[in-house]
Amino acid sequence: MRLSRRDRLALYTKAAHNALGLVGRETYPPAIIWVLTQRCFYRCVHCDSWMDQRPIDGAALLAIADELAAVPTKIVALSGGEPFMVKCLPEIATRLKRAGKLVTINTNGHLLEEHADWLVAEGVDHVQVSVDGHDAELHDCIRRQPGSFDRILRGIESLRTKRRRGAKPRVSVCGVLMKENAAHLVDFVDRFAAVADAVEVQPLHDSPGLLATSASAPFSAADREAVTDQIASLAARHPAFANEYYRSFPRFLFEPESMQHFAVDHCLPMIFNTLTIREDGACRICRYPLGANILTASVREIWNSPARWELYRTLVRDGCSAPCWTRCHMHPSVAPGRVLKKAVELLG
């Protein structure tokens, strides 16, 4: 999720207030990632969300939406699975927008065309579409869904056509770098830079509770040179990718043991300011359970719990034993994270 300058300023303002928690003040999460459902109708080679057949409880989701609408959180990111499988998604977005939230939706894009009208009408701020290849042949193979690439393109075009010039929602495309598409990373960004408002990439990672890997082929040491070359070419062609986050892809993929503390440096501003709510209401900080559920406790109680502060102290001290490498929506470099680590050590 790449925020506009205005939205970043609003988020940083909330984050500055949240930092008062270091000195014992009661605060609220500036951002919430809410997984509405783990269900999805695609059978992507790298994900097993399609195996989840649990029913979707619309009434429970609307109750959670009301709880989130009532707290001073700035950003609510609606995710899945595939969130457009949730029939009450338009009502959830409406309630959050009326409460002044910045609402983003992360989707596989398959149903985007038929939902474009209400996304524009409700002023949803941002739609992030996941795409797995630079062309139909590669993408549809990874998604195991013939025709999905062209359908996603139609959805993006429909959404961008229906919105007024400069209006919402902004549309970004996010690709997952895996062995199957690694040779076409530059091709991918070239293709979608002309289609979407922004393009992002993240490396595939096995992260329980966040992204469950399935049948994707693993990288080997022999792939490192090709990946490194693609990252270097990408940075040369597209300056937005010339930063530490993308330069660290080869390290993450081929030296994961070296990321234990470096990943915390990068991610701490995000996890310090973001609460994750899973599809069953269970609350986490990143992948780490807090032992609380939004259906039985308030955001205020969960966010200010001793469990959250103990988690930060543990991560600062021990690092993350199985890190992911997702672009931080707070800041793309590790510098703020290292400052925050010192603050947690001294005050947390």
- Across the range 298-321, mean pLDDT stands at 95
Q: Which amino acid is at 154?
A: R
Window from 66-75, 145-154, 334-343 with minimum mean pLDDT: 334-343
- Across the range 234-262, mean pLDDT stands at 93
Q: What is the mean pLDDT of the chain?
A: 91
Tell the residue number behind the tokens 């399935």, with chain if given: 214
**pTM across the whole model:** 0.93
pLDDT band of residue 329 (cuts 50, 70, 90) is low
**Other CB atoms closer than 10 Å to residue 291's CB: what's the count?**
12
- Across the range 20-49, mean pLDDT stands at 91
- Across the range 154-162, mean pLDDT stands at 95
DSSP character string of 81-104: S-GGG-TTHHHHHHHHHHTT-EEE
Using one digit for the tens of pLDDT, what is the confidence trace for 87-131? Answer: 999 999 999 999 999 999 999 999 999 999 999 999 999 999 999
* pLDDT on residue 334: 80
Dist. CA 322–CA 319, nearest whole Å: 9
Is the pLDDT at 8 greater than 80, yes or no? no
pLDDT band of residue 1 (cuts 50, 70, 90) is low
Tell the residue number behind the tokens 């999905």, with chain if given: 148
Dist. CA 210–CA 208, nearest whole Å: 6
Tell me the C-alpha to C-alpha distance, in Å, between residue 252 and each of 4, 46, 79, 183, 202.
27, 17, 24, 17, 11
Using one digit for the tens of pLDDT, what is the confidence trace for 210-227? Answer: 444 556 778 999 999 999
Q: Which two tokens stand for residue 160?
A: 């961008």
31 close to 103: Cβ distance less than 8 angstroms:
no
Dist. CA 209–CA 33, nearest whole Å: 13
Is the pLDDT at 209 greater than 60, yes or no? no
As to burial, measured by CB atoms within 10 angstroms (0-12 exposed, 13-18 middle, 19+ buried), residue 306 is exposed
Is the pLDDT at 300 greater than 50, yes or no? yes
pLDDT band of residue 176 (cuts 50, 70, 90) is very high
* pLDDT on residue 330: 57
Is the pLDDT at 139 greater than 80, yes or no? yes
Is the pLDDT at 40 greater than 70, yes or no? yes
Give the closest residue to 91 by CA, choosing from 69, 65, 72.
65
- How many Cα atoms are found within 13 Å in the side-chain-facing hemisphere of 62? 8
Dist. CA 30–CA 17, nearest whole Å: 9
* pLDDT on residue 215: 64
- Across the range 16-33, mean pLDDT stands at 93
Give the closest residue to 109 by CA, choosing from 169, 66, 181, 62.
169
- Across the range 290-299, mean pLDDT stands at 98
Dist. CA 272–CA 21, nearest whole Å: 10
